[in-house]
A and B are shown apart, each in its own frame.
Chain A
Amino acid sequence: MTTNEITEEAILETLRQVIDPELGCNIVDLGLVYSVSITGHKVAVVMTLTTPGCPMHESIRWGAQNALLNLAGVEAADVEVVWEPPWHPSMMTEFGRKATGVGTF
């Protein structure tokens, strides 16, 4: 018998399907995802956006929640958008920097 196990890697891989449409890059490689916590079949993600007042605020938060709920084994997903600490491009991965044309730090 096999069971599904929700891992942080699987969560992050799923969140890579959610893009910031203005920057054309996914939220994980943009460094927008601050933390992931898994409690049984419940997932909680704390994330930020590149700027307060981002017009895509609700879309991206909603998209992240959708993506998580589509992941097999996830029964509840809570996505919280925070502004502290403020996002900085140094939080991006190498892939994210290349995808958005942001220099190194």
Chain B
Amino acid sequence: MRANAPSVALPLMFTLTGLLALCAGIVWLVMQPSILALYHYNQNVIAVTHLFVLGWICSVVMGAMYQLVPVALETKLYSERLARWQFVFHIVGFIGMVWMFRAWNMEQVGHFGSVLAVGVALFVYNIARTLWRVPKWNVTATAVSAALGWISLTIILGLSIAAAKSVNDYESPASTTGTTGVILHGLKWVAGFLTPFGAISTMHAHAHLGGVGFFTMLIVGVSYKLIPMFTLSEVQSRGRAVGSVILLNVGLAGSFVTILRHSALKPAFALMVVVALAVYGWELKAILRARKRRALDWGIKYFLTAIVLLLPLSVLAVVLSCRGLPQNTFTGQLENLYGFLGLIGVVTFAILGMLYKIIPFLVWFGRYSRQIGRAKVPALADLYSARLQALGYWAWLAGLAGTGVSIVLSNETGIRIGCGFLALGVGTLGLNAGKMLSHYFKPSPFPLPISTLPKTA
């Protein structure tokens, strides 16, 4: 059987790694709620953020891209072997980075970050070569290409920040010769380049490159393919779809520069990103209105709720981009809320919804695709419990609300309780993932009735 996608084991490895990182991150927040009750420029916040961003979100997103980009864009993955190597670099890189952020050893963050960067380079090269083969270019391919560019910039800036923070700990480059000297001169140059922008502005610019450029760009671009596919609809206005992706790219480029330079134009570009998301929401609404499949399953409900959460997130983004805001504890907590709502509210909620499409598909594809037509195989919805899905949805929503309010109030008890609800939400996904994976390890196809033909005399 010819297939565009790689073997299901590859995306499943990434997905299971992501789920473990999500569990670890939520448990960490329950155990140490002060992380969200204090200003975010400290080692614990940065460590747990990278656990969520690299361990959870990037693992799942990259694994899913290896599976979905080839099938959604009707082409073949360039190299499965490169993807397997990326997995190794990714695991070593992100675990080491989180560990070293926790210990606040920036030299080692840089070293593990370089390992991660090798993996990201393999990922970008692999997906770019895959996109090169796309027979019919469309808005999804454009958004995926842009996301590859932004993730590359995110990694380069992240490594530059680590270099700038650790370079002063080295001996003077002037006293070092050979390759080491060249590297140290390079690090010094990077440190000199970033110093005028300020540590916090640089960190915020880095976060927006990844959060908006990679995650949001992919959510927008991929949903133009997946939402019509799952709801039996189609893109209603190509102009709106393309316009939203272009505006998002221009808005992000402007936001990056203005955040870095702490410019007065910051709100203008923040507004441009908000307009891009509003155009996206407009088109998504039109796609849903035109859908033929009236009932929305829980996976889609998770995803759409995440999109609705872009609304408060956008308001916060515009407010926080204003220069005149007082630099006090309350503003700091609003910034924490912004990051929490973006990563755990929008991106994670969207991914949780899509996981209810991705995991059953991978399991089904891995175990039942060759049985189809030979045995009675289950539908995707038969692989998991819709009740657990519903419970997980409400638990996640309650957790977001409770944690969000408690972050603003800097209330550690409230944050712990809110994160407890998030843990319940993750628990329901864990149970359902176990249910789905049980089919992977112990498939249960039923034999078909023996076919009969009419007999003629």
Contact = CB atoms under 8 A, between A and B. Distances in A.
Interface of A: 2-7, 10, 14, 17-19, 21-24, 50-60, 62-68, 70-73, 89, 100-103
A3 B453 CA distance: 10
A53 B72 contact: yes
Contacts of B361: 22, 55
B232 A7 contact: no
Contact of A19 (B3, B71, B295, B379): B379
A103 B4 CA distance: 33
A4 B295 CA distance: 43
B74 A52 contact: yes
B427 interface: no
Contact of B377 (A19, A50, A52, A64): A19
Nearest to B3: A58
Interface string B272-316: 000000000000000000001111000000000000000000000
Interface residues of B, number: 44
Contacts of A3: 455-456
A102 to B, nearest CB: 5
Contacts of B454: 5, 7, 10
B447 to A, nearest CB: 11
B295 to A, nearest CB: 4
Nearest to A99: B379
Given A62-B373, A70-B451, A102-B292, 13 more contacts: A2-B455, A10-B454, A19-B377, A21-B379, A53-B74, A54-B229, A55-B71, A55-B361, A63-B373, A67-B373, A89-B292, A100-B232, A101-B294
Interface in B401-437: none
Contacts of A68: 373
Interface of B is mostly: loop
27 contacts: A2-B457, A3-B456, A4-B455, A17-B376, A21-B364, A21-B372, A22-B379, A22-B380, A23-B379, A24-B380, A52-B74, A54-B71, A54-B229, A55-B5, A56-B369, A58-B3, A59-B365, A59-B372, A62-B370, A63-B369, A63-B372, A63-B373, A63-B374, A66-B374, A100-B293, A102-B292, A103-B292
A72 B3 contact: no
Contact of A51 (B229, B295, B374, B382): B229
